[in-house]
Structure 1
């Protein structure tokens, strides 16, 4: 409940703010290795919702989550769009906070995939190697 309230408050406090666009060519090398993205364990969207996405589009989903966690200002959406234009979404990370020596962030990911709206939320902490590990 606290997570939902914190993230909802963050999402509504920046109305009218333009989202960051994240339209890479689907190459994780722009952000680092595939290892950085695989540490996200598939992201926070429901796994079943991603089955209709191509491998490169699933990579774009994870890249958007990584970019939101790594560098987006709190509350500023990071948008993504599938290569064929039939799916899109945005990730909004809250203000970073500390857990011990780690930087952590709560975040939400909403998307439209196959005509269906899906949402996921979670929190992740940054590891010394630059990857983000979701909290369970």
Structure 2
């Protein structure tokens, strides 16, 4: 009985936390699902007040982790980024940027090849930079991709 009460309380807490946050649907959904998962995981530990504390901690940690995952790139964002990266590495000269955007999420970014070279075994590789703007925050990353036998580019670092 105590276990069910703790889980129901944790569910209410996670829904309340999500409702208080000024976030998008993906982030809110992630927080709710993460909170519920954390509550269930926390309910497996301890007894009595210790179990309640574990449920509460699991709920809060799960909600935090779920919220962060939820505000990251969604499938459409990743597809746009991957398509733009492939096209840019294949067709753009070094220094020429290509952009992608997802009007549904508001996320966007750029891909810019910076150097092209051929490895000792004859494989073509390109270094590149990319920017990604998620929720108004821009991140920059650098990488290297090499052309595969089927013509696609595979990120190697």
Alignment TM-score > 0.5, same fold? yes
Q: Distance in 2 between matches of 1:121 and 1:50?
A: 24
Give TM-score, length-normalised by structure 2.
Answer: 0.51
- Please state whether the residue corresponding to 1:97 is helix, strand or coil: strand
1:97 aligns with: 117
Q: CA deviation at 1:52?
A: 3.1
Structure 1 portions without partners, runs of 5+: 1-47
Quick check: 1:61–1:80 contact (8 Å CA) kept in 2?
Answer: yes
Q: CA deviation at 1:49?
A: 7.7
Out of 67, 78, 82, the position equivalent to 1:62 is 82
Out of 127, 131, 134, the position equivalent to 1:106 is 127
1:49 and 1:75, CA in 2 relative to 1: closer, same or farther beyond 3 A?
A: farther
- Please state whether the residue corresponding to 1:96 is helix, strand or coil: strand
Note if 1:132 corresponds to 2:140: no
Structure 2 portions without partners, runs of 5+: 1-67
| 4+ residue segments displaced more than 4 Å | 48-51
Q: CA deviation at 1:135?
A: 2.0
Quick check: 1:49–1:118 contact (8 Å CA) kept in 2?
Answer: no
CA RMSD of aligned residues (A): 2.1
1:107 and 1:88, CA in 2 relative to 1: closer, same or farther beyond 3 A?
A: same
- Bigger Rg, which one: 2
Give TM-score, length-normalised by structure 1.
Answer: 0.58
Of structures 1 and 2, the one scoring higher in RCO (CA 8 A, sep 6+) is: 1
Q: CA deviation at 1:112?
A: 1.0
Q: Distance in 2 between matches of 1:49 and 1:59?
A: 17
Out of 114, 122, 126, the position equivalent to 2:143 is 122
How many residues are aligned here? 89
Note if 1:74 corresponds to 2:94: yes
